[in-house]
Structure 1
Amino acid sequence: MQIDDALLDKLQKLGMVEIAQDKREEVKNQLSEILRFVENLKNVQTDEVSHVSSLKTPLREDKVIDSQIRHDVLAHAPKTQDGFFVVPKIIE
């Protein structure tokens, strides 16, 4: 698939990006190359490929630990109440 100016304009709008005029040809060529690569992947035969490994990711045991991070963080706040930050009211 070849990227033309109309498609590049649409991609700019969808991606909310702006491509400089002097870079448009370079970007069109790069995008076309990416699409050619993806087309090549469609032709790869994977019918006879099986799972290479039956290994599974080991899971760690969940352990509850007593962390003092909450106390440490709140100790640096200018004002706290019942374990929460107290901030000025901004909405009336």
Structure 2
Amino acid sequence: SAAKVRILKDVLCRNFQDFKGDTIPVIQHIRSKESELMQLADFLIGAVGYRNRHLLENKTKVRIVEKLEKLSGQSLTSTSPPWEEKFNIFVFEPRVVKE
């Protein structure tokens, strides 16, 4: 919705201390079906998520994940090396706060 887009822009601008809105001039809502790049991002995120949940039920998804790992030369379950330029995966592991 338009309200969520406005809130997102406000949060991002505050985070960058960009109170005039110069750093991020425009944020717009798009339908992923209308953007090939968004479809590709959804596809790759889905493959990474499927592999990291260790699911095996859907044979087509398993084959896609295996093909992506073969073509990229890296596992979809571990962080990519910092020198990788084309396809990066960052595995987030939250730290436990000790009281």
TM-score by length of structure 1 reads 0.31
Q: Which has the higher helix share?
A: 2
Larger Rg, first or second structure (1 or 2)? 1
TM-score by length of structure 2 reads 0.29
Q: Which has the higher strand share?
A: 1
